[in-house]
Amino acid sequence: MPPRTIIRKEEWERRLREVQVTKDDLNRLIMDYLVIEGYKSAAEEFSDEANVPPPVDFESIESRMVIREALQRGDIEEAISRMNDLNPEILDTNPALYFHLQQQKLIEHIRHGRITEALKFAQDELAPRGEESPEFLAELERTMALLAFDSSSSAPPAISELLSPAQRMKTAGEVNAAILESLSQGKEVKLVQLLKLLCWSEGMLADRADFPKIDLQEGLVATSRKEATDDSIMRE
């Protein structure tokens, strides 16, 4: 094993200062996040306040968000119809996405206790697709298992989580990514990519070196208030 490198705080700070990154660069990261995550009015304000050119038409953010909101409140019909208004090719060319939307619709039926509709919908719409692909079939089975439990709390987590808001968010995220892709817009949030890179690099380096780890809390929380107070006392 090679010896561990030790990097002291002052040295590390010096290197941090050497990193080339500007406020404009970071502003673009923020804009990327606001656009992809669909914070339309924030993106508009930001474009104006920080003088960052908008990477997309703000209206496209709006329609993406309407679809997302429909999905998040469980209105799958509305979402599908709006997606087709926007660009029918998105669903035509993406069978997995279409299946997941239908699955979400089934989940919503079950959530609201519409058992008859749920069964009919599953037989008419989902079962034929389940025959097409083992992955679809497994998902269908998992969803149908929801009917076996009288309340979601008694179901095992792998099944009951279908009823969670996270499942709706997951479907909404898939739809969002597909729409972004159809607009030739990046679908991965760069901010998240940065965080993943941070985790990876810090983890790898920690195996080989001792260096000051990042403390994000310090970035978001007022931790140095005490120091500031001490300083002012010293001066007075």
SS3 126: helix
Which of 155, 163, 177, 183: binder of another protein (CB under 8 A)? 163
Considering the complex, state which of residue 60 and residue 130 has its C-beta at the smaller distance from another protein: 60
Which of 92, 135, 198, 230: binder of another protein (CB under 8 A)? 198
Q: Could you tell me the sign of the dihedral formed by the alpha carbons of 173, 174, 180, 186, in that order?
A: positive
Please report, for residues 195, 200, 212, the alpha-carbon distance to residue 9 in angstroms, rounded to integers and kept in the order given.
22, 21, 6
Residue 11 engages another protein in binding (rule: CB under 8 A): yes
Residue 115 engages another protein in binding (rule: CB under 8 A): no
Residue 114 engages another protein in binding (rule: CB under 8 A): no
The whole-angstrom separation of Cα 149 and Cα 214 is: 46
Considering the complex, state which of residue 49 and residue 59 has its C-beta at the smaller distance from another protein: 49
Question: What is the nearest approach in angstroms of another protein to the Cβ of residue 184?
Answer: 13
Structure-token match 């996405």, residue found: 97
Nearest to residue 33, comparing CAs of 184, 183, 195? 195
* One character per residue 22-61, x = contact with another protein (rule: CB under 8 A): -x-xx-xxx--xx----xxxx-xxx-xxx----x------
Q: Cα-Cα-Cα-Cα dihedral of 39, 41, 46, 52, to 10°? A: 80
Considering the complex, state which of residue 39 and residue 127 has its C-beta at the smaller distance from another protein: 39
Site for another protein, residues 200 to 219, rule: CB under 8 A: 200-202, 204-205, 208-209, 211, 214-219
Residue 9 engages another protein in binding (rule: CB under 8 A): no
SS3 73: coil
Question: What is the nearest approach in angstroms of another protein to the Cβ of residue 124?
Answer: 25
Question: What is the nearest approach in angstroms of another protein to the Cβ of residue 91?
Answer: 24
Whether 16 contacts 211, CB under 8 Å: no
